[in-house]
Amino acid sequence: MNDYFKIRFDLNPCTETETDVLAALLCDAGFESFEPDMSGVSAYIRKELYDVTSVNDAVAAYPFSSSIKISEELIEGKDWNEEWERNYFKPIVFDGRCVVHSSFHKDYPKAEYDIVIDPKMAFGTGHHETTALMMRRILSCDMSGKKVLDMGTGTAILAILSAMCGAKKIVGVEIDPPAYENAKDNVALNLKADDVEIRLGGVETVVEKACFDYVFANINRNIILSDIGGYAEALKSGGTMLLSGFYLEDADMIVDEAEKYGLRKQSVLFEKNWANLELLKI
CA-based nearest residue to 149, from 242, 269, 224, 261: 242
Per-residue pLDDT of the chain (282 residues; tens, 9 = 90+): 568 899 999 999 998 888 888 988 898 888 877 888 889 999 988 888 899 999 999 999 999 988 999 999 998 766 555 565 555 567 888 888 999 988 777 788 889 999 998 766 555 555 678 889 999 999 999 999 999 999 999 889 999 999 999 999 999 999 888 889 989 999 999 998 788 999 999 999 999 999 999 999 998 888 999 999 999 999 999 999 999 988 899 999 999 999 999 999 999 999 888 999 999 999
- Give me the half-sphere count of Cα atoms (radius 13 Å) on the Cβ side of residue 23: 27
Cα dihedral 214→221→160→154 (10° resolution):
150
The rounded distance, in Å, linking the Cα atoms of 210 and 207 is 10
Q: CA 204 to CA 61: how far, in whole Å?
A: 30
The pLDDT of residue 153: 94
DSSP assignment of 182-240 equals HHHHHHHHHS-TTSEEEEESSGGG---SS-EEEEEEES-HHHHHHHHHHHHHHEEEEEE
**What integer pLDDT is reported at residue 108 of this predicted model?**
85
**Alpha-carbon span 100 to 102, nearest angstrom:** 7
Cβ–Cβ under 8 Å, residues 124 and 218: yes
Residue 83, pLDDT score: 61
Q: What local confidence, expressed as pLDDT, does residue 78 receive?
A: 61
* Nearest-angstrom CA–CA distance, 156 and 141: 18
